[in-house]
Amino acid sequence: MLPYILRRLGLALITIWAITVVTFIILQLPPGDFVDAYVAQASASGSAISAAEADALRVAYGLNQPLWFQYVKWLGHVVTGDFGRSFEYGRPVTEVIGDRLWLTVLLSLGAIVVTWGLALPIGIYSAVRQYSIGDYVFTLIGFIGLATPNFLLALIVMYFGLHWFNISFGGLFSSDQQLAPWSWAKVLDLAWHLPVPMLILALPGTAQLVRIMRANLLDELRRPYVVTARARGLPERQVIFRYPVRAALNPFASTIGYLLPFTVSGSIIISVVLSLPTVGPLLLSSLLSQDMLLASTIILMLGVLTVIGTLLSDLLLMWIDPRIRLGQLK
């Protein structure tokens, strides 16, 4: 087991390195650079920057150097934990991300808990009571949840929130609490703002998971070992939860790899629409403004989380499903 983990860790390092290379190359693909984006932004707000001025900025930001040189310089800093200063924000990248990180994680974790908390029981119920009224109702809702783009849902919820209840959604704090230091009132304010984005975030995932859980469990329920268990007189509850449900959980465990990066940036579109101060919109805006250091740090972070998540999910799978074995057949 230990050699396996060590080997995986070694591979993970190589993968992460490859991610840094690919990240850097991809970020160079769109036309222009941060200075171009900056000039475009300035002109759109009625300000003027001359071509020579733009060149001077390139020198100041080191954008005139060859790509490989920028890469080596950046990697050298990253290894020592220095992610540099965001061009657009004029602050250290770690601070810019850090500001938003914990709210993002809070929101995403909440969404995951809601997703799983709803999807697992409903999926099990739908499978066990296949073609019952309840199954049909959940299936219908599930398909609607799958089919509705959640940004649209977010817009609709926001509009009616304002229209009917005079609640202004968007953001995670009311304007009067935004600047206030942490207090009970502020926590309550946050608690008041959190559920709606959380639900909107969770809904499509829930619908999807319900369908997966239902299909998997239906497969398992027809297996001979279930019939055997029933024949042996095990109580129904034990028959279902001890064996088929456990087997049906495999796909859940294998998707944990994607859950980790999701907690950080799984909600870009929703966050932009609802104007949530999370990492998602930051990634989007840094890509648009070609803020290299900020964008590559976020992407690197997502890459690392994916790698770690994949490792974790592999380990978890082995634990849940003893049928999975290490190594190759010789």
Partner 1 sequence: MPDLSRRSVFAALAASPVAMELIRSTMAKAADLAASGLVGELQGPTMITDPAQWPKTFKEAPMLAELVKAGKLPPVEQRVPAEPMVWKPLNEIGKYGGSWRRAFTGPGDGENGNRIQSSDKPLHWSADGSKIVPCIAKGYDLSDDGKTYTLHLRKGMKWSDGAPFTADDFVFWFEDIYNNPEIVPTPTPEMRPNGKPGKMVKVDETTVRWDWEVPYFLFEEIMAGDTAMGGGQAVRQAGKISFGAYAPGHYLKQFMPKYSSLDAVNARAKQEGFENWVQMLHFKKDWELNTELPVLGPWRTVRPINNPIWLLERNPFYYAVDTAGNQLPYFDKVQFTLGENLEVINLRAMAGDYDEQERHIDLGKLPVLLENESKGNYKVHLDLGFAGADFLLQCNQSYVADPEIRKWLTNADFRRALSLGIDRDQLNETFWLGVGTPGSPAPGESMPQNPGPEWRKKWSVLDVAQANKMLDAIGLSKKDSDGFRVRTDNGERLRIQIIAIQAFLPYPKLSEMVADQWRKIGIQADVKEMERNLGMSTTRNNAHHIFIWNNGGTELLYLFPRHAIPVDPTEAYMGPLYGTYYASGGTQGVKPDDPNLLKIWDLFTEASGLKVDGRNKNAQEIWKILVDQQYGIGTVGQSPAGLGVRLVSNKLGNIAARVCNAQHCRTPGNSHPETWYFKA
Choose one: 8-16, 172-180, 188-196, 218-226; the region binding partner 1 (CB under 8 A).
172-180
CB atoms within 10 A of CB 56: 13
Nearer to partner 1, 158 or 305 (CB): 158
Query: DSSP string spanning 74-116?
Result: HHHHHHTT---B-TTT-SBHHHHHHHHHHHHHHHHHHHHHHHH
Among residues 14, 18, 91, 132, which is the contact residue for partner 1, using CB under 8 A?
91
Q: Does 53 bind partner 1 (CB under 8 A)?
A: yes
Question: How far apart are CB 240 and partner 1 at their closest, in Å?
Answer: 37
Q: Does 29 bind partner 1 (CB under 8 A)?
A: no
Among residues 108, 115, 206, 289, which is the contact residue for partner 1, using CB under 8 A?
289
Choose one: 49-57, 189-197, 198-206, 231-239; the region binding partner 1 (CB under 8 A).
49-57
And the tokens for 84?
């540099």
Tell me whether residue 13 is exposed, middle or buried, using C-beta atoms within 10 angstroms of its C-beta: 0 to 12, 13 to 18, 19 or more: exposed
Nearest to 162 by CA among 151, 154, 172, 173: 154
Q: How far apart are CA 138 and CA 210, in angstroms?
A: 9
Choose one: 4-12, 41-49, 125-133, 243-251; the region binding partner 1 (CB under 8 A).
41-49
Q: How far apart are CA 323 and CA 153, in angstroms?
A: 42
And the tokens for 301?
């972070």
**Which residues bind to partner 1, rule: CB under 8 A?**
30-32, 36-53, 55-57, 60-62, 85-86, 88-92, 96, 99, 149, 155, 158-159, 162, 166, 168-171, 175, 178-179, 271-277, 281, 285, 288-290
